Structure 1
Amino acid sequence: MPKMVLLAEYVSLAGNDLSEYTRKAEVSVEVEDKDVTTYASLGWKELLGGLKSGELGLEFLQDVAASEIDAIMWPLLGTVVPFEVRLDNAAVGTSNPEYSGSVLINGWNPIEGSVGDEASVSVGYPTSGAVARATA
């Protein structure tokens, strides 16, 4: 059984490579289930897939210096921007697929944490439109 340790994920938002700030990235997609059960279903629930949706979850190490992560993310607030995520920062390929699409930057937490914590920011952005999986 193949195994993998994530050591060098690639994360890009709005054309900015944010890999150096990112310590966690998750792309999740789902499909609504629509109940189409009738009496002809003989007591078994029948489902069809409905609308698809997704989310890009990220955890960044915060840096508020000029041109760093806070300065990159703040102007994006309220906009829909492209994203790209790969398990490795190597080229896209069959062993390193890229997931891409667009997300709504619907929030930013510039200050988060307790005494003695590292300065980090956790966000979850909903996708807007299709999420694609590319291998070339």
Structure 2
Amino acid sequence: MAKMVLLAEYVALNGTDLSNYVKKAELTTKVEEKEVTTYGSQGWKEVLGGLKSGELALEFIQDLAASALDSIMWPLLGTVVTFQVRADNSPVGTSNPSYSGSVLINGWNPIQGSVGDEATVGVSFPTSGAVSRATA
């Protein structure tokens, strides 16, 4: 099994490469657990998969300058936009799959932190529709 260190993740929202602002990116997907236990299950719980969902959590280094991060993200508030993430910014391939779909920009925290902290923005956006994995 190959080991890897994340050094150059690729993160794009609404077709804009935001990798230079991203400090941390996590894409999670899950499936609802639906219990279908019957007396015929003989005391064992049985489950089936229900609806799928996902979340894209990002931590940005904030930049309030004109044409920088805040001016890119603010107009997206309340909209559903495309996303693409991959472990490395090199081309998509079997060792560097791309995960893509759409997310709802359901919040934006332009200013957060305490005295002496770096200016970061932590957000979590729910996916809207299918999340795809591509290797080509």
Question: Aligned residue for 1:74?
Answer: 74
- Which AA in structure 2 matches 1:45? K
User: 2:73 matched to 1:59?
Assistant: no
Alignment-mate amino acid for residue 11 of structure 1 = V
Matched position secondary structure for 2:71: helix
Residue 28 of structure 1: aligned partner: 28
**How high is the TM-score relative to the length of structure 2?**
0.99
> What are structure 1's unaligned runs of at least 5 residues?
none
Instruction: Find the counterpart in structure 1 of residue 116 from structure 2.
Output: 116
Q: Identity of paired residues, percent? A: 75
User: Match for residue 97 of structure 1?
Assistant: 97
3-state DSSP of counterpart to 1:40: helix
Partners of 2:57 and 2:112 in 1: CA distance: 16
SS of residue paired to 1:115: coil
The secondary structure found in structure 2 opposite 1:75 is helix
**Paired AA for residue 75 in structure 2:** P
- AA aligned to 2:79 is T
Q: Provide Cα deviations, 1:94-129, integer angstroms capped at 9, x if missing partner.
A: 000000000000000000100000000000000000
Aligned-residue Cα RMSD (Å) equals 0.4
Q: Distance in 2 between matches of 1:98 and 1:13?
A: 13
Structure 2 residue runs of 5 or longer lacking an equivalent are none
Aligned residue identity for 1:14: N
4+ runs deviating over 4 angstroms:
none
User: Equivalents in 2 of 1:73, 1:62: separation in Å?
Assistant: 11
SS in 2 for 1:58: strand
